[in-house]
Structures are given as C-alpha cells and as structure tokens.
Structure 1
Amino acid sequence: MTPEMFESVEAYNAAHPASPFPADRHKRGVLRGYRAAMRGVTDDVTGADSRTSLTVDFLPGGAPLPDEADRVGNVVASHWGEGPVYVLAENVSLRAAWQSVKDAWPTHLSEVRSALETLATSRA
C-alpha cells in the first residue's frame, strides 16, 4: 500500500498541524532525521522514479536527542524537505521510531516502512 502523499510541505502541514514540517526550508534541512549516510533512501514504494532519494523526518522537531524528552508525532519521507511528502507513520513515539529506523539502517523506503511496522503493531 502506498503511503498517504501530499504534493507540498504546505499541504502536509495543513493536514497535520500537530506535527508540522518547519515552513522555512533551511530549518527543514537541519532537523535530526535519517538520511542513510547522506545518500538518501531509495524510493521503491511510491511508483515515482526509483532513483529518487528521500530523507526520513520525525515531526515535529526532528528525532529527539538522547537528553531530550520523547515526543509523539509523524514519520515522513520527502525529497530532502521538499514535496511530495509521504506519511509513513502517525502518532508514534518519535524516539522509538528513530531507534527502529536507526537499528534497521535501511537504504530503501520499503525497509523504512518495515522498520516502522513494529511501532504500529505495538500501539494496537
């Protein structure tokens, strides 16, 4: 199943105001997210060009640092902070999502989704 997709950051933010992407693209670029060693994650899920690389972001605010409090939010994939924005998980612990993705060290979007499946299952 293809993840929910929004054509732009603005469209995503309108639909998910509790877990927004920063409006400023420079602030989006400094979020603590997953970038597969700065190569990006290969899109093998959405039907877009499979050579497109994506970043995985944890919203709001990026993945929590070890000394920060956990937050509940969304995990999204985008083309380096620009549209389209794909929602991979909603209302999950961002710390647990970060740890799952980091532990899996995925290089493809399907692998990111697999890493996040356990979060959805554990919340049920």
Structure 2
Amino acid sequence: MTPKLFESVEAYNAAHPASPFPADRHARSVLRGYRAAMQGVTDDVTGTGSGASLTVDFLPGGAPLPDESDRVGNVVASRWGEGPVLVLAENVSLRTAWEAIKEAWPKYLSEVRTALEPIRKADA
C-alpha cells in the first residue's frame, strides 16, 4: 500500500469519517499513540518532510488499552496531531497494529511501515 497523504487533519477527517482524529487539538494530543520514547518517529519516507519528527496514532480513539475492546481503524503518522497526515494502514485491528509497532520499537517511519506490513496483508 502506498501511504495516502492528506494536507490537514480536516482533509483526513473528511476522507475517513469512521476513523477521525478528534477535532480538538488537546484531545488529539492525549490519544494513546506511538512516539518513540517521546522523541517522535523520524520521517525517512518522502511525503511529510524528510527528517520530520512524527507521532503514530491509532484512529479512532487511540491504541486500545489492555482492558478495552479492540477496534478496527486506521494507523496514521502526523506532526504531533497536526497536518499533514500520512495513512499507514486502513481498516486494521488497532490492538494488533499497536502490538506490532510496540514489538518493533521503530525509530524511523520506514520501520513503522515494515512492522505494519503483515497486518495490512492479513486484513487485505
């Protein structure tokens, strides 16, 4: 899957109403996501700005906590909840995606994509 790039959170939300980013910036910032030890994932993939620091979010609602039910949604990368938004996986188990990324502990966006590859293939 070639990642889809949306220039803003609003453009992403319009295209993915079932898996939106919260409209409120504070609500976006508290989503349970992957931040590579709060340093951010380095963008080594073209599209969002070479070398940019990104977060990986699980939409809707963030990555499920252990006591929460799993959800199906999208995995995206953004500049800390702001545009542009890069869709890395669509309609996948958010728990499975979280576990795969957590297991890989990626520092680079290309490594996030590699961790998600088996999940995207399984859900295709």
Is the TM value for this pair above 0.5?
Answer: yes
Contact 1:2–1:46, Cα closer than 8 Å, also in 2: no
CA distance in 1, matches of 2:77, 2:100: 15
TM-score by length of 1: 0.96
Number of residue pairs the alignment of both structures matches: 124
What residue is the counterpart of 1:92 in the other structure?
92
What residue is the counterpart of 1:39 in the other structure?
39
Q: Which amino acid aligns with 2:105?
A: W
User: What is the Cα deviation at residue 47 of structure 1?
Assistant: 4.5
Of the structure 1 ranges 7-16 and 43-52, higher mean CA displacement relative to structure 2 is found in 43-52
User: What is the Cα deviation at residue 50 of structure 1?
Assistant: 2.4
Secondary structure at 2:98 match in 1: helix
Cα distance change of structure 1 residues 56 and 19 upon mapping to structure 2, 3 Å threshold: same
- CA RMSD for the aligned pairs? 1.2
Tell me, which stretches of 5 or more residues in structure 1 are unaligned? Answer: none
Runs (4+) of structure 1 exceeding 3 A deviation are none
* Residues 20-76 of structure 1, C-alpha deviations (whole Å, 9 max, x = no match): 000001000000000000000000112443221000000000000000000000000
1:13 is aligned to 2:13 = yes
Secondary structure at 2:12 match in 1: helix
What residue is the counterpart of 2:76 in the other structure?
76
Tell me, which stretches of 5 or more residues in structure 2 are unaligned? Answer: none
1:105 is aligned to 2:97 = no
Percent identity, aligned pairs only, is 79
User: What is the Cα deviation at residue 120 of structure 1?
Assistant: 1.3
Q: Which amino acid aligns with 2:62?
A: G
